Amino acid sequence: MTKVKMANHDLQYKNVTISGLPGCGSTTLLDMLREELKYAGFTGFSGGEFMRAYAVEKGLYDDSSKAHHSATAYSDDFDRQVDMGIREKLSEDEGWIIESWLSGFMAQQVPGTLKILMICSNDSVRIDRIVNRDEIDVNQAKQNALTRYQDNLAKWQRMYKEEWQQWVVEAGTLPAEAEIDFWRPELYDLVIDTYSHNQKETLKLALNAIKKTP
């Protein structure tokens, strides 16, 4: 679906991406921004929700377990199709809030997109959020979070080496010797630590960045 051009003059960005590791609050911020920016015609999209629904439909994921799965459940071709679709939407459309692990990376060098990185500087708090969200014990949450991170990072490092070189190294964001890490703060316009900021403060920081400075 192609978005209609927005007639807003109080926003300095036409699209927003939200990225972050599990338990850092990216989905919560998506939900809050979706509500706050309805007046401007914004639509929210969760990459994680989309991929989980696809995995369940194709029998790749047992939805009796609330623990999330890694990207290794999908083929490289399908992963790339979804990711590049995100980049296409950000490049050609307006009014998207897209939340996914890689949405900020897919927005590199795309004009008019605010790239938000969510972090939680207290790892115990982050794991506790996963425990409550997925209704699993602490050890399961730690193992699931670590395995997903390692599996996803290894897969995407392999898949997106050329894009990293083009969008990050050649663009001058990071030097050639920098390790491929899709959640480096240098790749983002705004970094929010949800350990030191509550939900209300997090939303305010995001809205202040999206709106034009008076």
CATH number at residue 42: 3.40.50.300
pLDDT at 1 over 50: no
For residue 64, count CB atoms less than 10 angstroms from its CB and return exposed for 0-12, middle for 13-18, buried for 19 or more. Answer: exposed
In a domain, 208, yes or no: no
163 or 137, greater pLDDT:
163
Q: What is the mean pLDDT of residues 133-147?
A: 85
What does the pLDDT look like over 113-122, one tens digit per residue?
999 999 999 9
Write down the pTM of the prediction. Answer: 0.87
What does the pLDDT look like over 197-212, one tens digit per residue?
999 999 999 999 998 6
> How many domains does the chain fold into?
1
For residue 175, count CB atoms less than 10 angstroms from its CB and return exposed for 0-12, middle for 13-18, buried for 19 or more. Answer: exposed
Burial 8-19 (b: 16+ CB within 10 A, else e): beebebbbbbbb
In a domain, 2, yes or no: no
pLDDT at 57 over 90: no
* Residues β-bridged to residue 45: 98
In a domain, 3, yes or no: no
Distance CA 26, CA 17 (A): 10
82 or 47, greater pLDDT:
82
In a domain, 4, yes or no: no
Evaluated on CA atoms 78, 50, 30, 140, the torsion sign reads: negative
Chain centroid offset of residue 200 CA = 19
In a domain, 106, yes or no: yes
Average pLDDT in the chain: 87
In a domain, 5, yes or no: no
In a domain, 176, yes or no: yes
Evaluated on CA atoms 152, 155, 158, 162, the torsion sign reads: negative
Q: Please give the residue range of the domain that contains residue 111.
A: 15-203
In a domain, 32, yes or no: yes
Distance CA 181, CA 185 (A): 10
